[in-house]
Chains A and B, each alone.
Chain A
């Protein structure tokens, strides 16, 4: 095959999936961890924005994209820890606290990000998986964000930890039945705070993957609600990190549908096609919450979703 021709659309979708999956993956892994511990953080969209902004700012200031990632993780962890601390107060609604984090994060990112709208920062080096191919389309589709590779490792690592590590089982126990976990000598609040903090750090890294990889840059429209959609994705993945990976790729592909069709010359309803990821989110929320089976894996303490 010398001409992509018929393959153009699937190739563009695959490329889009690989390109756009990274932020979804990190945010959903973070949210998965948070929710497994029995907390919900609806503020991840705000953390994603803070992560994107601080990653870009730090990379611009230091000249190193890796310093950007570290800054994003630290900022995300701080926001996650704030959420965790708020939730451990008596009679604080987790959802209301999460909304506060969402608004706060968005505000911080927009305010502190003003000076970064123009400049250029160093980009993360791509992993050129498509170097073997002579087709520029194939090569471009397989230019991987290095953070995606990290995310894949993390997804499998998290699943293994939930199955085989003492700390992973402790998170599940704390999230499924706080009273039973306490009776086992586990520290419920401490475990949840740690999970929420780490979850925030992952969402922050998700933000870094937005602003530090092609196309680099910081803008206020950078996330387009991906943090919110990642929450639906966790439900779709039934709180399993590896299924989060699959779901992130699916969401990435849905996001690539409109540009791919446009590129192929079918651009009539592109505004509608841009809705694909949102429509997918809605479909998942409807099907995912109406069938009892789909709720398997739901942490018992996460009563807010019932």
Chain B
């Protein structure tokens, strides 16, 4: 096993790479030049082609056209093995570690030259020696299932280095990290790159990450490279944003603060809900959402937000405590939801909010199909009325036209999201629970969704907004609470929210966070 200090990383170039998926052009003649020792950001929105480009360069996806040149030689990458031989490797967005094994077991098993019969003491000593040379702290004896996302990400990077990879591709590496974890990881990688030991290519849509950590940026839009430049002081976030979306991004104005306190529509007291994957239960002492108020829930995913939402939607049983809606105990059945005019946009809407094999039209009318005008008095469903209602709901968020008769599972993630938004964010919604409502949407559609939330708030709807996008939360929320390990560890007014304090609270440093929030 070579040490991380040896051979410098190779230069990796893409020339005119193109790739289609059916009728969709994911990548259209893209060029890229990754110089040794650089941290190269591939910036773009969802679907801009940045992940496709990265996958082609690690052999995970074959390009239809174009060349890949490594240290001046043309290479063909048919399989990740081919990339491995050249020292190129990818850290995937979804972790590729086996949860029930330890860190050390994972690292050894990933090696193609792992011995048949493993001497763990020897392997541990070898890993410890290797880690002395690498500024990434990991616990080799810990079970992967017990690690936080940031720790797993570090293990993934160590694994790449152990495999002898010198050009690391990271696919949205910070999407599951707190801002502090992300800064720490990217800072360490930048240090390794500055020392000339590795090159890093990271795909991202986060502008501040690019500015803080990258040495070069290549911006992609709709499969094309629209900008390519070394990062210097002349490039700021506004420049990058304009490159990324083609125009200055639309902004949603922060809603004006409301004067009078409205009554609490949703009221949670001493709630205890068991967690899906074990771990500390959701334990919320008090949380109210008033009419005409947006309450944002921040937190790294996996800290109980999912279970909270499932309990509100009736998908998970409440162990203790009370959920009241309009001062009455909440029974999340169909009749109560209709009476409360409750709407919910959960995470993974295809799995949680649709019947995947049913048609888009049928899914759009799930809340209303058993009422007039769709249902007749005898309970018969009028297909024409159903179609008209579905059409109207689909139009609200511009769901792919002409797909009404198709099974919703065959639609793209963005279209499923729009369909569920169209169904749940109707005008008379009075209580809304929304999880990452703008996830997977382009900038324009995301702004539409956010504007819609503000409109609903203005009409007196109470909104519980669970989001991993801090900017979204800070812009929209009247109040923000931070969840960590099932508890609310910080509560702050939206106008006073401080990214630093929120980030620390998300990482569990609640003492520091509340001290800062007090200042």
Contact = CB atoms under 8 A, between A and B. Distances in A.
A177 interface: yes
A292 B81 CA distance: 39
Chain B interface, >50% SS class: loop
Interface residues of B, number: 24
A119 interface: no
A185 B117 CA distance: 18
Interface string A289-305: 00010000101100000
Given A166-B109, A184-B110, A292-B278, A172 B115 contact: no
B92 A166 contact: no
A172 B116 CA distance: 15
Q: Which of A167, A170, A184 has the most CB of B within 10 A?
A: A184
A300 B145 CA distance: 11
B246 interface: no
16 contacts: A166-B115, A169-B101, A169-B105, A169-B118, A170-B109, A172-B101, A173-B101, A177-B99, A179-B94, A180-B95, A180-B99, A181-B98, A183-B96, A184-B98, A185-B110, A300-B100
Given A166-B109, A170-B109, A185-B81, A180 B98 contact: yes
A159 to B, nearest CB: 14
Nearest to B98: A173
A164 B100 contact: no
Contacts, number: 57
A179 B92 CA distance: 11
Q: Which of A176, A183, A186, A297 has the most CB of B within 10 A?
A: A183
Contacts of A181: 98
A190 to B, nearest CB: 16
Contact of B109 (A179, A184, A299, A300): A184
Given A184-B96, A185-B81, A185-B112, A164 B120 contact: yes
Nearest first, the 5 closest Cβ-Cβ pairs linking A and B are A183-B96, A173-B98, A176-B100, A180-B96, A184-B110
Interface of A: 164-167, 169-170, 172-173, 176-177, 179-181, 183-186, 292, 297, 299-300
Nearest to B95: A180
B114 interface: yes
B97 interface: yes
Nearest to A181: B98
Given A169-B105, A169-B109, A180 B97 contact: yes
B101 A167 contact: no
Nearest to B112: A185
Contact of B101 (A176, A183, A185): A176
A169 B106 CA distance: 9
A302 B97 CA distance: 17
Contacts of B108: 169
A184 B95 CA distance: 11
A166 B118 contact: yes
Nearest to A169: B109
Contacts of B114: 166
Given A173-B109, A179-B96, 10 more contacts: A166-B109, A166-B114, A169-B101, A172-B101, A176-B98, A177-B97, A180-B96, A181-B98, A185-B112, A300-B100
Nearest to B119: A164
Nearest to B100: A176
Interface in B104-147: 105-106, 108-110, 112, 114-118, 120
A178 to B, nearest CB: 10
Contacts of B120: 164
A121 to B, nearest CB: 39
